[in-house]
Amino acid sequence: HHSLESRALHTGLVLRKKLPPKSDQESDAKFESPPSHSNFADNRDTPLTDEEQILLVKTEYELMKEDGEFDVPSQLDETQLKRLVETRGVFARRNILRHFFLIEVKRINENEKRVKKRVLAEERYAQVQVELKEENHLYYGLWKNCYFIRYSKQYMDNIHLHKLASAAMFGQPLVFDNSFDSHMNYREKSSLLIQLRFCVNKNREHVNPFSFHMCNFDHKHNTASKFSEGMPKVLMDVHKESYLDLFPKERLVYLTPDCKSELVEYDHDAIYIVGNIVDRGDNVPYCLAKAKAEGIKMRKFPIERFVDWGTGGKSLTLNAVIEILLEVKESGSWGNAFKKIPNRKFKKQIGHGKLEQFANKIKDNKRTRHIIKSLVDE
């Protein structure tokens, strides 16, 4: 145990906490100048064990919390602690702690607003009941006489579940390929989970939803386990097997923006595959390579035929892809479907007023250059 404490003293945080500052400037710079590699494992030939790394992270957290100069959450759960252990560097862990702190503050504020809203609703309800007793007239509105029945959230959830159950038996399958977990970092995985939640909500609310199939779904992977925890009541088929083992290969169509062939006409008998990947950096065509290796047909949306695309990449978010597929399946119109694409993807068109301002600016610049040239000649 004594050797473990001496090891912890090599970290920037504990070292600066134990040793007295040499000058006032160094005292003010506390926590600001850690070693180039803050993990103790970087300064050793042998890496830290899991227990030592957890102890190191807990020590950093307690020191920051005790110091009071940094925004840290009031406590850490197992998921947050695991992420801190997997993060390299004091500065990176400090930023993550601040992120956890902001999430905690937001959750507290939302709870306070929810309580205030409930109190105001109860006060308003009591006031309405008093008014109804004092007046003999009929009043229409909330908590009064009303022509229409107010559907509860549970009732609407049952409606959506009924549509999803019908789609599971008779609807068109749509496959999500979960083979790319190792190609994403933590931020990309978090973004993917958010997009998947949007996909599920959009699909369940649609009048003619897809039958979702999660293929290559391994619960040991971080993204899969988080998705299962966050959405336990989602009605969809989850398979550890590949889609090649579940569906006829001739019906499979992999959707990827990196291929050359366009999906000109929507096929209601096809089984479309969407890759569960968010790639913010290299834009490597993983889906294209996987489809080629498996010998599956590939198609891309005919975006350039209908949309004046901007200078950025033609990759869409997962929820935008699902919304486009839902719309084109229902209406058969690519024009209506591509209205689901965010406006930031389009080219910025200059209106008549802006075009006139731009022309006047050019004239002013020419006039200025002419005046400067005449002064130089003189």
CA-to-CA dists, residue 308 to 193, 219, 263, 347, 355, angstroms: 29, 41, 18, 6, 19
Q: Are residues 214 and 332 in the same domain?
A: yes
pLDDT, residue 312, reads 60
Q: Are residues 95 and 200 in the same domain?
A: no
User: Residue 317 falls within a domain, yes or no?
Assistant: yes
Q: Are residues 187 and 74 in the same domain?
A: no
pLDDT, residue 12, reads 37
Closest CA to 275 of 252, 248, 302, 251: 252
Number of domains forming the structure of the chain:
2
- Segments in the chain below pLDDT 70: 1-46, 230-233, 310-314, 345-378
Q: Which residues contact 94 (CB under 8 A, 6 or more apart)?
A: 31, 64, 70
Strand order across the 252-255 sheet:
237-238, 211-215, 173-177, 271-275, 252-255, 297-299
Q: Domain span at residue 279? A: 154-345
Closest CA to 246 of 181, 175, 296, 169: 175
User: Residue 25 falls within a domain, yes or no?
Assistant: yes
Tell me phi and psi for residue 286, to 5 degrees.
-65, -40
* Cβ proximity of 167 and 210 under 8 Å: yes
Written as six digits, the tokens of 4 are 């473990």
| Measured CA angle at 92 (ends 191, 89), to 5 deg | 130
User: Residue 143 falls within a domain, yes or no?
Assistant: no
Q: Are residues 89 and 218 in the same domain?
A: no
pLDDT, residue 345, reads 66
Q: Are residues 158 and 97 in the same domain?
A: no
Angstrom distance (rounded) from CA 189 to CA 187 = 5
Residue 57: CB atoms within 10 A of its CB come to: 22
User: Residue 169 falls within a domain, yes or no?
Assistant: yes
Closest CA to 59 of 37, 79, 81, 92: 81
User: Residue 275 falls within a domain, yes or no?
Assistant: yes
Q: Are residues 233 and 333 in the same domain?
A: yes
Q: Are residues 167 and 288 in the same domain?
A: yes
DSSP letter for each residue of 279-338? -SSS---HHHHHHHHHT-EEEB--HHHH--B-SS-----HHHHHHHHHHHHHH--HHHHG
Written as six digits, the tokens of 160 are 């959506």
Angstrom distance (rounded) from CA 268 to CA 108 = 47
Paired with 175 in beta bridges are 213, 273
Angstrom distance (rounded) from CA 329 to CA 21 = 68
Paired with 262 in beta bridges are 300
Angstrom distance (rounded) from CA 322 to CA 327 = 9
Q: Are residues 165 and 232 in the same domain?
A: yes
User: Residue 38 falls within a domain, yes or no?
Assistant: yes
Extract the runs of DSSP E, i.e. beta strands, from 131-188.
173-177
Q: Are residues 169 and 317 in the same domain?
A: yes
CA-to-CA dists, residue 147 to 151, 199, 374, angstroms: 13, 34, 80
**Residue type at 80?**
Q
* Cβ proximity of 345 and 304 under 8 Å: no
User: Residue 145 falls within a domain, yes or no?
Assistant: no
Residue 92: CB atoms within 10 A of its CB come to: 12
CATH of the domain at 338: 3.40.1280.30
Q: Are residues 206 and 324 in the same domain?
A: yes
pLDDT, residue 292, reads 93
User: Residue 59 falls within a domain, yes or no?
Assistant: yes
Angstrom distance (rounded) from CA 189 to CA 177 = 14
Maximum pairwise Cα distance, the chain: 94
Q: Are residues 193 and 79 in the same domain?
A: no
pLDDT tens string 160-199: 889 989 998 999 999 999 988 888 888 888 888 889 999 9
Angstrom distance (rounded) from CA 240 to CA 103 = 33
pLDDT, residue 114, reads 93
* Cβ proximity of 55 and 9 under 8 Å: no
Q: Which residues contact 59 (CB under 8 A, 6 or more apart)?
A: 8, 11, 13, 14
Q: Are residues 172 and 313 in the same domain?
A: yes
